[in-house]
Amino acid sequence: MPFVRVALDVPLDRLFDYAVEAVTAADVGRRVVVPFGSRSLVGIVMAVADAPEDAGVAIKPVDAILEDMPALPADTLALLRFCADYYQHPIGQVVHTALPSRFRDIAPFHVAEALRYVATDAAALAAAIPARAVMQHRLVAMLAVPRSEAELRRVSGTAWKTVQAWMADGSVAVTRHEAAPIGDIVGLTLNADQTAAVQSIGSGKGFGAHLLQGITGSGKTEVYLQAIAAVLAAGKQALVLVPEINLTPQLEGRFRSRFPMVELAALHSSVADGERAAAWVKAARGEARIVLGTRLAVFTPMPALGLVIVDEEHDASYKQQDGLRYSARDMAVARAKRADVPVVLGSATPSLESWHNAAQGRYRHDYLRLRATPGAKPPAWRLIGTRHAPMTDGLHPMTVGAIAERLARCEQTLIFLNRRGYAPVMHCSECGWLAACTRCSARLTVHLREGRLRCHHCGWEERLPPRCPGCGNADVKPVGQGTQRLEDVLAARFPHACVMRIDRDSTRRKGSFEAALKAIHDGRVDILVGTQMLAKGHDFPKLTLVVVTGADSGLYSADYRAAERLFAQLAQVAGRAGRAEHPGEVLVQTDFPEHPLYQALLADDYDAFAQRELDERQLAGFPPILHQAVLRAEAAKLEEAVTFLRKASSLAPNVEGVTVWDPVPATMTRLANRERAQVLVQSHSRPRLQSMLAAWMLAMRQERAGKIRWSLDVDPLEL
Ligand SMILES: [Zn+2]
Ligand SMILES: [Zn+2]
């Protein structure tokens, strides 16, 4: 009796053998239902074998092989294996993470196949039709290539009946999986930079990684669309990854309207489970020729993949922060390499990893330096020194003046402050007490209107104390500024203006964010106060002034990536200011106007900033100059976590060129009543780091962790 090796969603890094009556190689990649302990689980067949791996162990039979989902093809299985090895994560969990959640359900799932129709001999059929039957001749002309029922029905009210008659006499045949023509695609006229970029990407022949670096308004999306058009014309599929927050209905609409004849599979979190599974099936069958999705879409099987695009490739949301801690950007590059197709990484502010790869010549560096709209100007930056300046409620007189000017011209202002709540600190001036979270090593944020103190890390909240719990002093004060306080300040300063705040608190209700965006669009808002929620992807035609405040904390942070993140964030928020007819201005209130980061923003020179950051990381020994992994552990007591990590470190194999540091408490040691510590591992050699991690994790999985929760994060974004 043959056996199947099955990947199951369990935290053990192995496959499980089951016996099966009859099985062929075509069943590899299929869903199976198998008994596991007292449960029935859905698994994926990874291999077919003549003998079980462990002789002498009782092997249970498979309950059922399901044929509802297209089998995961060999290239997808290989990518998932690579992912499991790279991130040292159990293969079964990797496979199940990559599948739409609907397929973890035992119930079968059916998606009707999209059939297409084609004339068996178009010339013969045309000759048999009377010359005056115009509609029939038009149909025959169309049927020279495979067409969908919907396309044919559009020709006339009786067209479908005619086609059915031709099918009955064999003049028209049904076909499957054949790429339909994409229709006439009319793109925008490209400028010289865009043309060069599209040409360098080519049309899906051979691997090549392209870093497409261009500021807001330089027309990156148009480059994507025209590169995709070339790939579709060659009969292939395109995979487009976008950060969750950027995948707006407008962007999806732009893709759909450019390629009306092409089926597009949208794969993101606001698509319902069943719909998502159906879109995935269509992509896997080759029917959907464009896959537009977030992080997880990178694993979608696509039999005719011709191009991979990662938009806003620097965005942190490409890295999953729990479970399988993978980077969709890095997997996209790995996937393109295996499929031997081009991959485009687009950004105004590339990650230092990608920028370094381009500087080293591993990626081709394509710049979009020109604005796509002729005459459009980049926003003008102004740095306002706030040290020793006469500030009122956190606003400089120049800032107040600039806002007043916009109000007089009926234009909008956005004030960017990436800190929600009323104030970040509640402080007693008598005894120095600060409101702290009892569950985390963090301060509580003041939410004055609700009369609450909230922890933004664990969600804990309590009533605002009327007096200091330390000394009884009644004069406890909120210190510092959050978006709520800034909103109050502006409303008091400009009583006739409509001030609106947009942050996670103000948009909690479903639909409220969309309603707010509409109000801004319609010009019903004069002054916007917002966090990074507003920084991305939204175009407001009347917004001409962006004020940045509270950004200095990113300049001297202990986190070596803070400056990179800050630059990206400010470049993005600046992109909201100004359109062709209204030039924009960006004011940055800062104590450090001479700081090189601000100077690079002022000069619109990301490369200067990136080179300087890279030099610093070279000196300090940080990625991307070297490679890191971090083993994290959490326990009720810090000592337990550290003891566990010390034991773990003793299991680490000694590999030359790989450094294992001593266990240390995490930057935020206490989170939601758990104490956290970590061990950092680093190496200049990726292969050595990988082989060391593989041997280490093998040893670790033999150990009992007890109540300690631990995880390995390869290429961590945060330490
Ligand atoms: Zn006190
Ligand atoms: Zn907390």
**Residue 705 pLDDT grade (very low, low, confident, very high; cuts 50, 70, 90):** confident
**Residue 580 pLDDT grade (very low, low, confident, very high; cuts 50, 70, 90):** low
Strands (E), 369-481: 380-385, 412-416, 425-428, 445-447, 452-454, 461-463, 476-479
For the ranges 98-107, 455-464, 575-584, which has the lowest average pLDDT? Answer: 575-584
Q: What percent of the chain has pLDDT over 90?
A: 74
Closest CA to 136 of 102, 165, 93: 165
Instruction: Tell me the CA–centroid distance for residue 673 and ligand 2, in Å.
Output: 8
Contact 173, 118 (CB under 8 A): yes
Instruction: Tell me the CA–centroid distance for residue 436 and ligand 2, in Å.
Output: 8
Q: Are strands 116-119 and 64-66 parallel, antiparallel or unpaired?
A: unpaired
Instruction: Tell me the CA–centroid distance for residue 396 and ligand 1, in Å.
Output: 31
What per-residue confidence (pLDDT) applies to 178? 58
Tokens of 333: 């590059």
CA distance 223 to 367: 11
Instruction: Tell me the CA–centroid distance for residue 452 and ligand 2, in Å.
Output: 14
Instruction: Tell me the CA–centroid distance for residue 426 and ligand 2, in Å.
Output: 15
Q: Is 477 exposed, middle or buried (0-12, 13-18, 19+ CB in 10 A)?
A: exposed
Q: Which ligand is nearest to the CA of 428?
A: 1
CA distance 284 to 297: 12
CA distance 121 to 173: 10
What are the C-alpha distances in Å from 258 to residues 225, 255, 462? Answer: 8, 5, 52
Instruction: Give residues with Cβ within 8 angstroms of 175, minimum separation 6.
Output: 115, 116, 117, 118, 146
Instruction: Tell me the CA–centroid distance for residue 475 and ligand 1, in Å.
Output: 8
Tokens of 603: 């000069």
Q: Which ligand is nearest to the CA of 440?
A: 2
For the ranges 52-61, 234-243, 606-615, which has the lowest average pLDDT? Answer: 52-61
Element of type H or E holding 588: strand 585-590
Contact 332, 310 (CB under 8 A): yes
Instruction: Tell me the CA–centroid distance for residue 405 and ligand 2, in Å.
Output: 42
Q: Which ligand is nearest to the CA of 433?
A: 1
Instruction: Tell me the CA–centroid distance for residue 420 and ligand 1, in Å.
Output: 25
What per-residue confidence (pLDDT) applies to 360? 96
Q: Mean pLDDT across the chain, nearest whole number? A: 92
Instruction: Tell me the CA–centroid distance for residue 451 and ligand 1, in Å.
Output: 19
Instruction: Tell me the CA–centroid distance for residue 571 and ligand 1, in Å.
Output: 42
**Residue 270 pLDDT grade (very low, low, confident, very high; cuts 50, 70, 90):** confident
For the ranges 210-224, 242-256, 297-311, 562-576, which has the lowest average pLDDT? Answer: 242-256
Q: What are phi and psi of 627, to 5 degrees?
A: -115, 145
**Residue 203 pLDDT grade (very low, low, confident, very high; cuts 50, 70, 90):** low
Handedness of CA 249, 255, 256, 258 (dihedral sign): positive
Q: What is the pLDDT of residues 361-387, one digit of tens each?
A: 999 999 998 887 777 778 899 999 999
Q: Which ligand is nearest to the CA of 669?
A: 2
Q: Which ligand is nearest to the CA of 445?
A: 2
CA distance 378 to 290: 32
Q: What is the pLDDT of residues 2-27, one digit of tens each?
A: 999 999 999 888 999 999 998 999 99
Instruction: Tell me the CA–centroid distance for residue 553 and ligand 1, in Å.
Output: 27
Q: Give mean pLDDT, residues 645-665.
A: 96
Q: Give mean pLDDT, residues 593-622.
A: 95
Residue 177 has pLDDT above 60, yes or no: no
Element of type H or E holding 660: strand 658-660
What per-residue confidence (pLDDT) applies to 327? 98
Q: Which ligand is nearest to the CA of 469?
A: 1
Q: What are phi and psi of 640, to 5 degrees?
A: -65, -45
Instruction: Tell me the CA–centroid distance for residue 459 and ligand 2, in Å.
Output: 6
Element of type H or E holding 484: helix 483-493
SS3 content of the chain, % helix, strand, coil (to 5): 35, 25, 45
Instruction: Tell me the CA–centroid distance for residue 670 and ligand 2, in Å.
Output: 8
Contact 396, 439 (CB under 8 A): no
CA atoms within 13 A on the CB side of 494: 23
Residue 180 has pLDDT above 80, yes or no: no
Structure-model confidence comparison of residues 457 and 704, the more confident one: 457
Instruction: Tell me the CA–centroid distance for residue 540 and ligand 2, in Å.
Output: 36
Q: Is the peptide bond before 687 cis (omega within 30 degrees of 0)?
A: no
What per-residue confidence (pLDDT) applies to 83? 98
Q: Say if pTM beats, i.e. exceeds, 0.85.
A: yes
What per-residue confidence (pLDDT) applies to 246? 73
Instruction: Tell me the CA–centroid distance for residue 671 and ligand 2, in Å.
Output: 6
What per-residue confidence (pLDDT) applies to 706? 81
What per-residue confidence (pLDDT) applies to 174? 86
Q: Which ligand is nearest to the CA of 470?
A: 1
Instruction: Tell me the CA–centroid distance for residue 216 and ligand 2, in Å.
Output: 37
Q: Which ligand is nearest to the CA of 439?
A: 2
What per-residue confidence (pLDDT) applies to 295? 95
Closest CA to 420 of 518, 506, 326: 506
Q: Is 706 exposed, middle or buried (0-12, 13-18, 19+ CB in 10 A)?
A: exposed
Instruction: Tell me the CA–centroid distance for residue 485 and ligand 1, in Å.
Output: 23
Kindly calculate the radius of gyration of the chain based on its CA atoms and give it in whole angstroms. 29
Instruction: Tell me the CA–centroid distance for residue 464 and ligand 1, in Å.
Output: 14
Tokens of 564: 């990179």
**Residue 583 pLDDT grade (very low, low, confident, very high; cuts 50, 70, 90):** confident
What are the C-alpha distances in Å from 533 to residues 244, 416, 417, 537, 703? Answer: 12, 10, 10, 10, 43
Structure-model confidence comparison of residues 638 and 246, the more confident one: 638
What per-residue confidence (pLDDT) applies to 112? 78
Instruction: Tell me the CA–centroid distance for residue 246 and ligand 2, in Å.
Output: 29
**Residue 437 pLDDT grade (very low, low, confident, very high; cuts 50, 70, 90):** very high
Q: Give mean pLDDT, residues 30-37.
A: 95
